């Protein structure tokens, strides 16, 4: 199992993770006090929308693409929360964004590769990774303290 660490964008260590170093974008979408989660049929639990960078994309373009591609959400804006570093045989850096969404389009067919889209007051079970709750708690703290 890889070691996972989270660095807030407000932390001085965040400078070690410039946008060009991020391979993955992860977005925590909020609809009021609820969070929007997805569950893919080939994975064992709920997760936030995330995707790998494609050639020529910026990391923020990845975040916007994934929100639309997995949950049909269009964010009013994306706020950078920080970065996740997964140290393993091949280290991976993910940028973590928060987004407020104002519309939940429930009258559509699910995007390809998504089994369910759900909104929850607390996190659903089971979670895909054990560190997802750590990221959610950081996002909730940031919302309480006014991250902008």
Using the CB atoms, write b or e for 12-25: b if 16+ within 10 Å. eeeeebeeeebbbb
C-alpha 144/C-alpha 28 separation (Å) is 15
Q: Reply yes or no on whether the pLDDT at 1 is more than 60.
A: no
Segment 56-95, tens digit of pLDDT: 999 999 999 999 999 999 998 999 999 999 988 888 999 9
Residue ranges and CATH numbers for the domains of the chain are: 3-145 (3.90.79.10)
* pLDDT tens string 105-137: 776 688 899 999 999 998 899 999 888 999 999
User: Looking at the DSSP assignment, which residues form a beta bridge with residue 34?
Assistant: 31
pLDDT score recorded for residue 123: 87
Mean pLDDT of the chain: 92
Distances (CA, A) of 68 to 72, 104, 109: 4, 11, 13
């Amino acid at each position: 199992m890889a070691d996972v660490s989270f660095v807030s964008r407000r932390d001085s260590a965040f400078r070690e993770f410039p946008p060009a170093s991020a391979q993955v974008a992860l977005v925590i979408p909020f609809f009021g006090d609820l969070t929007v989660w997805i569950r893919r049929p080939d994975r064992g639990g709920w997760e936030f929308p995330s995707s790998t960078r494609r050639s020529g994309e910026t990391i923020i373009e990845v975040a916007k693409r994934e929100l639309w591609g997995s949950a049909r959400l269009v964010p009013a804006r994306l706020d950078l929360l920080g970065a996740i570093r997964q140290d393993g045989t091949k280290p991976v850096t993910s940028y973590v964004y928060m987004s407020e969404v104002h519309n939940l389009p429930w009258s559509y067919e699910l995007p390809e590769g998504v089994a369910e889209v759900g909104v929850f007051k607390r996190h659903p079970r089971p979670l895909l990774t054990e560190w997802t709750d750590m990221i959610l708690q950081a996002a909730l703290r940031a919302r309480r303290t006014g991250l902008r």
